[in-house]
């Protein structure tokens, strides 16, 4: 729980003919973290003949084709299968997809064409309606000897431009009807200018109305015929939609299965393409939790006896790249999420999740102490964690964090004697922050000093685990830093009259010794670690910089500690905000009246929502920037066991933004 | 409420100044131009602000892929400045950014017409991770659709659908993408013009000065190209150009359409444009020299815009002109970098290469 799981580096030598089965077994085990070698990827990528690379490319294209058919048949891809489906050769998959495409093509294309025809017919009706009363054959209008007439639709934005372009030509342009972007217009001119008018109209995107043969006659006759045509087309659309619905019903399972087979095969091909390909064999390296190594060997042994598995000693270049598998109880998954949001822990350092799970609710409760508000948060958190709200199921882990914070707020609410903002109902077990502001602020500083010390101790343990003894002893977040901090705290406490068993002189000497250690920390660290040269730059520059370093350490310890004063300030603010709610409630109505209670309830909800959010953000800030900065930087490699079911769904979108 | 002045532009201005400093310095340009081949050019580019985008296997960096990777720098620049610029000015930057989406759409339509695959088309596109209506997924679905009409159907959710659907009748009659592309270009610039007019005060003036001049340049060159390359009629030229502009009036477009030399028109509208007198006048029948003349006029106008961009960094800096000028300079830088990449890939002599660049950056 405190350290990532111990990992073993293993190397598998897989005969070429066993590579598929073995990779499937590795993925099925759910514990093998594959490490593709960089040079191998490049080498493989440049070898066009490599079958697996070709498979990868082909399968991306096939996936797109399947998704297109599914979209045309109005299907979604469904949930990923629980067990990886069998792999499928791209050639076989393509034959299957071609058949499905062919099956869907006719009704889908016919439907699209029918919809376009419907739109076109409706457009014709729209264009003819303004001249419906005209008792002239449309054919006659088009074939006049001396007059040019063009009825059609064009973008509204182009009307002015068309008029401008015909400046030197006699014409009349009448807008018969105008919709949002399009207008139905009639262009009149002289037949002798027809060529110019036609070119001008065309370049202004005036699409002339050319009704099919069936819709000739007077405008009224054409409209009646068009209406009948619209009705027929609607019937066709309904027929095609029924046909597509039938295909949907028939093929949905098959298409989904095929889609996930293609995706699983892509994952497999992509993985194998990343293996180190030797003549007749593949060399595969990766990591497994040490406790599960034997199980993996057993499972691979069942699949193939020809595969050789060796456990390797991690090499120098592996340091920093060993995947960190965090093993925390499910109850702490929400806190682990907060840790990984900040950064992925390294393999050789302590997992900050337990310390976060302990301090996060503590800090939150201290700032948000109220028995009633805490209870509501606890209930809301438990409801979230129970996964009963479908839309918020993914936030179940966060529900546990809220529940812990709620419980802590209840505890501090009891200590402060506060329930739903009422400060006179419960007896304060400890004291009321609003009445003893100095005490709560000093207490907050004390808690801050404790947390910072905890952070530094965590860092010392991390340094010990990495065997960085120089860093452990002399770093500002190491032993020297901790003793320096404590001696300064001790001197400050004595200055304020606190009875300490250690004499002031001893504290001062300790501070001076540690201060010297911190000032020349880099020199001492290099000395202990036997690194040369002892000074990276010339001695004069180093000494000048070293004193500034000490000054910066001092300032940062001071500001880090003072930063925690906000915990006390928020505890006071929480009480004050509740007081404001009651003052407003009393202005609205006498205590006990309906208006009074409405304001009290709304005010409490506001305090929980608004102040709860602010306190949550402040807590996160204190954890991330004050505490984590002492011992945790992130940058580790997450443990991601090989899987043939892509977590991100669509494989073609998994490529990086710049890829 | 829209903010303006110092409070609105303090952060934008500071960020733009920092970005401005990352534009290629004269020494960098010299080194790039003198690079003996594409590999050496890549080594030089890795010392510039483009380095993070070239951190991929060098074997994959073909000229086309290199240009694609370089365009990421522009995408990040737009992203950053759209985020920082206050409303409604950020709308103008978004609209400017949309030009690349329009270009992507045109490239996709060409891909659909030639039955190209996604892999053939993708590196021709500008990378556009944010502030888009047309996603890579849409483009892939368009390419898979098999026909222009079906590809347009896949744009139903985008602002391009109505424009393309109406222009499609022309495409179907002529089997030529020209009407679709012109419709998209005109529609895009109408949006740009509208975005300028949504601004007020100094923002409006600066946007008009920079983007308005750029629109003028497009309009003038379109008119000249339609006459020289496509031999269109006066009415067609007017309909295929914009009815608005910063300094360009309808009469100017009409003059070009009726055969007046573009150099004379540009001189009349923009007397500050340099080097126009050095461009030899041409007769109307001689198409090839006319094309050469047009290319020189285009370069003179581009240089004028670059000059306007540099001027934006002088004086009161708290307006939209500063981020606009930086982005426009970056676009020109990228345009010339593209020329350098192509030139190095095809082993073009340095003299030939430098003659093809917009400006002497060094």
Cβ contact, residue pair A165, B72, below 8 Å: no
Cα R_g (chain A), whole angstroms? 38
pLDDT of residue A571: 92
Residue B288: pLDDT band (50, 70, 90) is low
ipTM given for this complex: 0.84
Residue A285, classed as helix, strand or coil, is strand
Write the CATH number for A209: 3.30.70.2750
pLDDT of residue A658: 37
Sign of CA dihedral A450, A451, A456, A461: positive
Query: Which of B119, B137, B236 is the closest to A200 by Cβ?
Result: B236
d(C-alpha B166, C-alpha B180), whole Å: 9
Q: Domain count of chain A? A: 2
Residue B240: pLDDT band (50, 70, 90) is very high
pLDDT of residue A649: 58
**Among B264, B234, B226, residue whose Cα is nearest residue B250:** B234
Has residue B149 been placed in a domain?
yes
Mean pLDDT, rounded, for B342-352: 92
Chain A residues whose CB is inside 8 A of the B69 CB are 658
Has residue A197 been placed in a domain?
yes
Maximum CA extent, chain A:
119
* Interface-testing mutation among A109, A112, A148, A165, with chain B (most B C-beta atoms within 10 A): A165
A50-85 pLDDT, tens per residue?
788 889 888 988 998 899 899 889 898 888 888 888
B241-285 pLDDT, tens per residue?
999 999 999 999 999 999 898 999 999 999 988 888 887 765 545
Chains A–B, number of C-beta pairs less than 8 Å apart: 81
B174-194 pLDDT, tens per residue?
899 999 999 999 999 999 999
Cα R_g (chain B), whole angstroms? 21
Query: Which of B59, B162, B163 is the closest to A46 by Cβ?
Result: B59
User: Which residues of A touch chain B, with CB atoms under 8 Å apart?
Assistant: 42, 45-46, 57, 61, 64-65, 68, 71, 112, 116, 153-155, 157-158, 160-162, 164-166, 169, 181-182, 196, 199-200, 202-205, 207, 652-653, 657-659
Q: Which of B136, B169, B198 represents a domain boundary (last residue)?
A: B198
Smallest Cα distance from B12 to chain A, Å? 25
Same domain? For B108 and B95 the reply is: yes
Residue A300: pLDDT band (50, 70, 90) is very high
Has residue A156 been placed in a domain?
yes
- Residue appearing with tokens 């008009």: B208
Where residue A576 falls (left for φ over 0; alpha for ψ -120 to 50; beta otherwise) is alpha
pLDDT of residue A131: 83
Has residue A65 been placed in a domain?
no
Mean pLDDT, rounded, for A147-154: 90
Q: Which domain holds residue A484?
A: 330-637
pLDDT of residue A39: 47
Same domain? For B113 and B63 the reply is: no
Please say whether the beta carbons of A187 and A197 come within 8 A. yes
d(C-alpha A401, C-alpha A363), whole Å: 13
Same domain? For B275 and B170 the reply is: no
Residue B29: pLDDT band (50, 70, 90) is very high
pLDDT of residue A46: 41
Residue A441: pLDDT band (50, 70, 90) is very high
Smallest Cα distance from A199 to chain B, Å? 7
Has residue A277 been placed in a domain?
no
Q: Domain count of chain B? A: 3
DSSP character string of B134-162:
S-HHHHHHHHHH-SHHHHHHTTTTSTTHH
Q: How far apart are the first and last CA of chain B?
A: 43
Smallest Cα distance from B121 to chain A, Å? 14
Same domain? For B205 and B311 the reply is: yes
Please say whether the beta carbons of A65 and A651 come within 8 A. no
Write the CATH number for B23: 1.10.132
Same domain? For A494 and A355 the reply is: yes
B320-341 pLDDT, tens per residue?
999 999 999 999 999 999 999 9
pLDDT of residue A48: 37
Mean pLDDT, rounded, for A544-567: 86
Mean pLDDT, rounded, for A269-280: 86
Mean pLDDT, rounded, for A274-278: 85
pLDDT of residue A659: 39
Same domain? For B220 and B191 the reply is: no
Same domain? For B37 and B54 the reply is: yes
Residue A233: pLDDT band (50, 70, 90) is very high
d(C-alpha A196, C-alpha B317), whole Å: 50
pLDDT of residue A134: 80
**Rounded percentage of chain A residues whose pLDDT exceeds 90:** 50
Same domain? For A505 and A370 the reply is: yes
Q: Which of B198, B230, B252 represents a domain boundary (last residue)?
A: B198
Q: Which of A195, A217, A239 represents a domain boundary (last residue)?
A: A217
Residue A193: pLDDT band (50, 70, 90) is very high
Same domain? For B205 and B315 the reply is: yes
* Interface-testing mutation among B50, B239, B243, B245, with chain A (most A C-beta atoms within 10 A): B239
Answer whether residue A591 shows pLDDT above 90.
no
Residue A422, classed as helix, strand or coil, is strand
Cβ contact, residue pair B140, A162, below 8 Å: no
Average pLDDT over all residues of chain A: 87
Residue A365, classed as helix, strand or coil, is helix
More confident residue, B278 or B96: B96
Same domain? For B66 and B14 the reply is: yes
Same domain? For A359 and A211 the reply is: no
Answer whether residue A653 shows pLDDT above 70.
no
Q: Which domain holds residue B162?
A: 89-198
**Rounded percentage of chain B residues whose pLDDT exceeds 90:** 67
pLDDT of residue A49: 39
Mean pLDDT, rounded, for B292-304: 91
Mean pLDDT, rounded, for A643-653: 68
**Among B94, B39, B65, B120, residue whose Cα is nearest residue B338:** B65
**Among A601, A574, A608, residue whose Cα is nearest residue A585:** A601
pLDDT of residue B9: 83
Mean pLDDT, rounded, for A501-528: 88
d(C-alpha A433, C-alpha A76), whole Å: 56
Same domain? For B153 and B106 the reply is: yes
Query: Which of B60, B235, B243 is the closest to A196 by Cβ?
Result: B235
Please say whether the beta carbons of A460 and A471 come within 8 A. no
Please say whether the beta carbons of A484 and A512 come within 8 A. no
Where residue A44 falls (left for φ over 0; alpha for ψ -120 to 50; beta otherwise) is alpha
Same domain? For B82 and B125 the reply is: no
Mean pLDDT, rounded, for A344-361: 91
A309-336 pLDDT, tens per residue?
999 887 877 877 899 988 888 889 899 9
pLDDT of residue A213: 66
Mean pLDDT, rounded, for A360-366: 95
Has residue A16 been placed in a domain?
no
Chain A residues whose CB is inside 8 A of the B176 CB are none
Neighbours of A500 (CB within 10 A): 13
d(C-alpha B247, C-alpha B220), whole Å: 11
Please say whether the beta carbons of A514 and A484 come within 8 A. yes
Same domain? For B277 and B354 the reply is: no
Same domain? For A485 and A612 the reply is: yes
Cβ contact, residue pair B243, A658, below 8 Å: no
CA B299 to each of CA A530, B227, B257, B304, B348: distance values in angstroms, whole numbers, following the listed order: 63, 19, 21, 9, 20
Has residue A15 been placed in a domain?
no
Q: Which of B180, B198, B216 represents a domain boundary (last residue)?
A: B198
Neighbours of A82 (CB within 10 A): 6
Smallest Cα distance from A593 to chain B, Å? 40
pLDDT of residue A391: 77
């Amino acid at each position: 729980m405190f350290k990532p799981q111990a990992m073993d580096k293993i190397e598998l030598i897989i005969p070429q003919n066993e590579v598929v089965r073995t990779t499937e077994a590795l993925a099925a085990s759910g514990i093998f973290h594959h490490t593709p070698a960089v040079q191998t990827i490049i080498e493989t990528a440049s070898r066009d003949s490599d079958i697996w690379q070709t498979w990868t490319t082909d399968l991306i294209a096939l996936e797109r084709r399947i998704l297109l058919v599914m979209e045309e048949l109005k299907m979604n891809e469904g949930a990923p299968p629980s067990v990886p489906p069998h792999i499928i050769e791209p050639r076989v998959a393509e034959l299957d997809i071609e058949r499905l495409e062919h099956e869907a093509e006719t009704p889908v294309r016919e439907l699209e064409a029918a919809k376009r025809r419907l739109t076109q017919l409706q457009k014709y009706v729209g264009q003819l309606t303004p001249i419906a009363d005209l008792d002239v054959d449309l054919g006659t209008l088009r074939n006049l000897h001396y007059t040019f007439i063009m009825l059609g639709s064009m973008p509204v934005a182009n009307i002015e431009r068309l008029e401008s372009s015909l400046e030197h030509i006699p014409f009349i342009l009448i807008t018969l009807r105008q919709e949002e972007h399009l207008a139905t217009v009639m262009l009149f001119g002289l037949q002798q200018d027809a060529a110019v008018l036609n070119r001008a109209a065309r370049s202004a995107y005036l699409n002339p109305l050319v009704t099919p043969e069936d819709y000739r006659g007077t405008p009224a006759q054409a409209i009646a015929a068009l209406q009948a045509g619209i009705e027929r087309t609607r019937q066709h659309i309904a027929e095609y939609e029924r046909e597509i619905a039938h295909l949907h019903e028939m093929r949905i399972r098959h298409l989904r299965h095929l889609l996930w087979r293609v995706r699983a095969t892509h994952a497999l091909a992509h993985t194998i393409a990343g293996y180190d390909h030797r003549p007749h064999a593949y060399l595969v390296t990766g990591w497994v939790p040490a406790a599960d190594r034997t199980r993996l060997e057993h499972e691979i042994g069942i699949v193939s006896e020809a595969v050789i598995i060796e456990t390797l000693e991690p090499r120098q270049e592996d340091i920093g790249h060993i995947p960190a598998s965090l093993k925390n109880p499910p109850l702490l998954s929400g806190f682990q999420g907060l840790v990984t949001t900040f950064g992925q822990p390294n393999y050789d350092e302590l997992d900050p999740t337990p310390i976060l799970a302990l301090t996060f609710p503590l800090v939150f409760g201290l700032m948000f102490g109220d028995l009633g508000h805490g209870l509501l948060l606890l209930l809301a958190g438990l409801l979230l964690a129970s996964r009963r709200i479908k839309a918020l199921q993914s936030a179940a882990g966060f529900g546990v964090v809220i529940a812990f914070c709620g419980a802590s707020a209840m505890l501090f609410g009891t200590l402060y004697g506060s329930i739903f903002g009422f400060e006179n109902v419960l007896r304060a077990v400890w004291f009321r922050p609003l009445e003893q502001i100095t005490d709560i602020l000093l207490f907050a500083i004390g808690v801050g000093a404790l947390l910072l010390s905890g952070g530094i101790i965590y860092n010392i343990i991390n340094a010990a685990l990495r065997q960085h003894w120089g860093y452990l002893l002399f770093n500002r977040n190491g032993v020297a830093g901790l003793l320096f901090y404590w001696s300064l705290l001790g001197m400050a406490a004595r200055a304020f009259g606190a009875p300490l068993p250690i004499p002031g002189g001893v504290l001062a000497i300790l501070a001076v010794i540690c201060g010297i250690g911190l000032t020349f920390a880099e020199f001492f660290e290099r000395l202990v670690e036997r690194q040369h040269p002892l000074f990276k730059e010339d001695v004069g520059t180093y000494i000048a910089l070293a004193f500034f370093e000490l000054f910066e350490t001092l300032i940062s310890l001071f500001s880090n500690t003072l930063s925690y004063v906000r915990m006390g300030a928020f505890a006071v603010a929480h009480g004050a905000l509740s007081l404001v709610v009651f003052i407003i409630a009393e202005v609205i109505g006498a205590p006990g009246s309906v208006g009074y209670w409405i304001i009290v309830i709304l005010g409490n909800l506001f305090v929980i929502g608004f102040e709860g959010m602010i306190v949550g953000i402040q807590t996160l800030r204190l954890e991330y920037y004050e505490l984590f900065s002492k011992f945790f930087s992130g940058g580790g490699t997450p443990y991601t066991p090989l899987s043939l079911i892509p977590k991100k769904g669509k494989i073609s979108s998994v490529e990086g933004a710049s890829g | 409420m829209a903010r303006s002045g110092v409070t609105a532009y303090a952060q934008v201005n500071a960020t733009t100044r920092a970005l401005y400093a990352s534009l290629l310095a004269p020494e960098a340009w010299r080194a790039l131009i003198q690079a003996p081949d594409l590999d050496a050019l890549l080594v030089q580019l890795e010392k510039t602000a483009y380095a993070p985008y070239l951190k991929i296997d060098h074997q994959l960096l073909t000229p086309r892929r290199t240009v694609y990777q370089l365009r990421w720098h522009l995408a990040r620049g737009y992203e950053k400045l759209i985020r920082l610029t206050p409303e409604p000015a950020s709308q103008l930057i978004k609209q400017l950014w949309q030009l690349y989406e329009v270009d992507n759409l045109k490239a996709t339509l060409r891909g659909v017409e030639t039955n190209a695959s996604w892999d053939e088309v993708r590196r021709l596109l500008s990378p556009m991770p944010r502030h888009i209506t047309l996603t890579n997924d849409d483009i892939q679905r368009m390419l898979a659709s098999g026909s222009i009409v079906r590809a347009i159907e896949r744009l139903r959710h985008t602002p391009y659908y109505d424009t393309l659907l109406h222009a499609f009748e022309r495409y179907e009659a002529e089997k030529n993408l020209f009407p679709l592309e012109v419709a998209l270009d005109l529609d895009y610039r109408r949006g740009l013009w509208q975005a300028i007019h949504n601004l007020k005060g100094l923002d409006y003036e600066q946007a008009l000065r920079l983007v308005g001049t750029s629109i003028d340049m497009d309009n003038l060159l379109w008119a000249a190209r339609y006459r020289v390359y496509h031999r269109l009629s006066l009415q067609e030229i007017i309909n295929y150009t914009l009815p608005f502009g910063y300094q360009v009036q309808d009469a100017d477009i009409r003059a070009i359409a009726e055969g007046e030399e573009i150099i004379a028109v540009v001189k009349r509208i923009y007397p500050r444009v340099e080097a126009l007198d050095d461009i030899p006048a041409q007769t109307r029948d001689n198409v090839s020299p006319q094309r050469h003349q047009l290319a020189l006029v285009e370069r003179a106008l581009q240089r004028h815009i670059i000059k306007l961009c540099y001027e934006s960094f002088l004086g009161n800096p708290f307006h939209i002109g500063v981020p606009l000028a930086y982005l426009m300079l970056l676009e020109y830088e990228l345009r010339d970098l593209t020329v350098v990449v192509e030139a190095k890939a095809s082993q073009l002599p340095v003299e030939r290469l430098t003659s093809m660049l917009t400006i002497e950056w060094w």
